[in-house]
Amino acid sequence: MSRKRLRLFAMHGQSFSNQVSGLMWQQQDARTRSTGFTLVELLVVIAIIGVLVALLLPAVQAAREAARRTQCTSQLKQLSLAALNHESAQRYLPAGGWGYKWTGDPDRGFGPTQPGGWPFSLLYYIEQGSVQTIGAGLSLADKNAALMQQKTTPIPMFYCPSRHAPGLGYGDESSHNSAQPQDGRVAKTDYAANGGNQLPGRGGANTTAGPALSCLVQYPNCPGLYDQATAFKGTGAVVPRFGVAMRQITDGASNTMLFGERWLHTSLHDLDHGKFVGYDNNSMYQGYDWDTTRWASSFATSDGTLLGTPWPDTQGDTGIRGPLPAETYRFGSIHTSGVIISRCDASVQSVAFDIDPYVWHDLGGRDDGG
């Protein structure tokens, strides 16, 4: 091949190579441009994500609340089973205690001798014996100081997670047999015992602070310590001082309420609320009072219409630094579907807020034929 032809061939080959290279760069550049986003496209994507989040967030929140409600139901079930274990061992359900000026005493056993309320009496049956025995065997002075530790020990099982996490809350009510925490913060309960369908003070003696301070050394011969004849004869599963035996529940265990969620205004869900309210001012270990006891029917109108059905926590007045409104005696909850209750056979169910007042009244009584 002549030199001229070789040069021509080389020139054509180089030109072809340059064209191929140019095409490859053009294709790569086109691909690069095609993978980018315009501002409009980016805004559309962000808008779509926002819509998806708005659609999914209620579902996520509902799922979380369903889990919290399930836990709340489970806790009420465990407390009810503990009450039945108490009944098997002691031959009666846990007693309501002496009154709101007394807290649980580790050396006074169960029933009429125990000043503390039903939550204290259940501690042994929910594997919280270490709390129940705080201060055991000590002198009066040393026990008084030790029981402050009891009052400031929260038990997670008593807190409904839909309201708040376990912790210490407002409780400035002092006790005869315990020192008071300096900051006035004590363990709380979201669950109350069924005191019946008749309020203290309506057809019987009013619920009181309990016997005098002298009971610390003069028991049982101390003023104000009521006996079977003088005690408020509540119609529910838990009454002051004396435990209710199963044979007294003539309506049947499955027809009588045992425990339920207590009404608590939403403004009080924050345990640090620091507000003066007479129905949320003591610890979970105190004796008989509306901090730990509620009633299935609060009042009746002049024509006999019953009031007192459970309320959602969003309803009603707080009663802060004023007369206690009717709802302070009620059961209630933060759940939208109703209030969770248990019966004396340890079955648990949700009761709608609009339950018929007479059905609710009958659930509260243990021996009224309902």
Question: From first to last of its 370 residues, what are the pLDDT tens digits of the chain?
Answer: 555 454 444 444 455 455 545 544 455 555 555 556 788 888 888 888 888 888 887 777 788 889 999 999 999 999 999 999 999 999 999 999 999 999 999 999 999 999 999 999 999 999 999 999 999 999 999 999 999 999 999 999 999 999 999 999 989 889 999 999 999 999 999 999 999 988 775 444 445 788 999 999 999 998 888 887 777 778 999 999 999 999 999 999 999 999 999 999 898 899 988 777 878 889 999 999 889 999 997 666 555 566 688 999 988 766 555 555 566 788 999 999 999 999 999 999 999 999 999 899 999 999 988 7
The beta strands (E) that lie in 49-195 are given as 168-170, 185-187, 191-194
**Are the beta carbons of 337 and 253 closer than 8 angstroms?**
no
Q: Report pLDDT for 225.
A: 87
**pTM for this structure?**
0.83
Q: Which pLDDT does position 70 carry in this prediction?
A: 96
β 191-194/293-294 pair status: parallel
Distances (CA, A) of 133 to 171, 214, 290: 22, 23, 25
In this structure, the number of other CB atoms found within 10 A of the CB of residue 6 comes to 10
Cβ pair 328, 291 in contact under 8 A: no
